[in-house]
Chains A and B, each alone.
Chain A
């Protein structure tokens, strides 16, 4: 079924709110605790769509055993995850500006025991998929219908353990497992093409035996269609390769890798507020 225009409009509005939260967190983060806006903005559309259009989750009962699981393997996109979970009602939005500060539930990278709605502690790259394999296996053992979605960075895919997990998922025919590759073409120290050139993501995942689809990770229509593909997926795990732009939504951050981890100046923040059509005050 073609997603309705109304759903897409609502999703766009929701994602704009998420980007606004990300901008505020990136600016008002405690001095010295500099946050990671670039990698959060590239997954904002996908993550918002997942939580508001796909995942079966329960903000009032975050550990419900029947819930769908999401593992943010690229844990350095925590700003997006925290923003979406707060907007979804897992915890109070007023906590968002405490990100990375000592004593906050919103740790430097996601902590499953501190943040309601976080299904796995992440931050050390490459490790999310293996935990997702465990969750998907548990669903099969217990005959539960939940899905497990793991969001992996394209740079992160250089970690060898990703591929240990990838082949294991195929061995156990985990059609209830989804890997979403946030292909924003950058990693910490620069462009992926420069640091580890020539990677063919689609061919690689297919060679491992995964079902693969490619989408534009900022096109809501394509994102929603990919969710239908998750429902149709059979036999093998599904990989969704999402082409994205690092820093998406703020003109001065897009494809500028210096925003991988950086705090905004007041001028930059004001410009960002203008671009996202928001007031510059501290309230969330």
Chain B
């Protein structure tokens, strides 16, 4: 059982400062998010390198593009609903298309902004960003992954989008765990009855479900697909072949995210039925994140139930 909770936003802010100390070209741009995304930590040490453009996400992307065109390694920070929608054209045309070195850090991903309601819920962002060529797309399951992803991204040249959360969330990984951008990783391996491909804030939910399933004799392998793009095709196909059944679990609309990515890949390379746990293409509502996850199907019991039904039907 997971006992520690840490904020992915703090992980970002702290990691960024550490990286910036070693690399003078790292700068951050915030859109009235310097406090909430903790670029204030960078500002404290390097005031010139923390830009705050105000409530203007489109301009944030453009300023980031201009800075990157002059050799800066830019981290642009806002909330996933705005980075993926309000400012999507600026991201697509002025960052992704020219291949500029801008890493978008998208806070408040998925249900983590639950209390704010649909206006602030980023449940479509990964699908939207996945449509854009040339972008590295990652969703972090916990603070450790967020920190590792940010460090990894800082060493890569080119556009990227990293979804993180809001409040402290369960820590799934330890510092010793291996992490490589673009490589799916086995998080838990009880057996080959079902492979659960999962990512983001509900990875820990899937882990809990797997532990319960084990007690009922259903042995699950959990593979975290933190990088949706480039997708670890070889890894996903290998795990799909190893296991009898396939389930995806994600904190995202059913369209465009992990289920879509895995389905697109396997339908072409290793056709097999794939079951899913995701938000079923509907607008949700405001509420506590965990309550919303429960209500919209991203719960331990739902994963257990779905897994049992897959197992019994032998799908």
Contacts and interface: CB of A to CB of B under 8 A. Distances in A.
Q: Do A and B bind each other?
A: yes
Interface of A: 65, 69, 111-113, 119-121, 123-124, 127, 129-142, 148, 160-161, 164-165, 167-168, 171-172
Contacts of A165: 59, 62-63
B67 interface: yes
Contact of A139 (B27, B58, B70, B98): B70
Looking at chain B's contact residues, the main secondary structure is helix
Given A137-B63, A141-B27, A164 B70 contact: no
B97 interface: yes
B70 A134 contact: yes
Interface in B30-69: 48-49, 51, 53-54, 56, 58-59, 61-69
Nearest to B62: A130
B72 A168 contact: no
B70 A131 contact: no
Nearest to B92: A124
In the A-B complex, the 6 residue pairs with the smallest Cβ-Cβ separation, listed nearest first, are A134-B66, A130-B62, A138-B70, A164-B59, A164-B56, A131-B66
A113 B69 CA distance: 11
Interface of B: 27, 48-49, 51, 53-54, 56, 58-59, 61-72, 89-90, 93-94, 97-99
Given A130-B63, A133-B59, A161-B58, 6 more contacts: A121-B98, A134-B62, A135-B70, A141-B48, A167-B54, A168-B53
Contacts, number: 102
A137 B99 contact: no
A177 B98 CA distance: 22
Contact of A132 (B54, B66, B71): B66
Given A134-B64, A137-B63, A168 B56 contact: yes
B56 A119 contact: no
B97 A130 contact: no
22 contacts: A65-B70, A65-B71, A69-B70, A113-B98, A113-B99, A120-B69, A120-B94, A121-B93, A121-B98, A127-B58, A127-B62, A133-B59, A134-B64, A134-B69, A135-B67, A135-B69, A137-B66, A137-B67, A140-B48, A148-B66, A167-B54, A171-B54
Given A124-B93, A164-B56, A137 B51 contact: yes
B71 A133 contact: no
A127 B94 CA distance: 8
Contact of B62 (A119, A133, A160): A133
A142 B72 CA distance: 10
A163 to B, nearest CB: 9
B66 A130 contact: yes
Nearest to A138: B70
A98 B89 CA distance: 28
Contacts of A172: 51
A141 B49 contact: yes
B90 A138 contact: no
A165 to B, nearest CB: 5
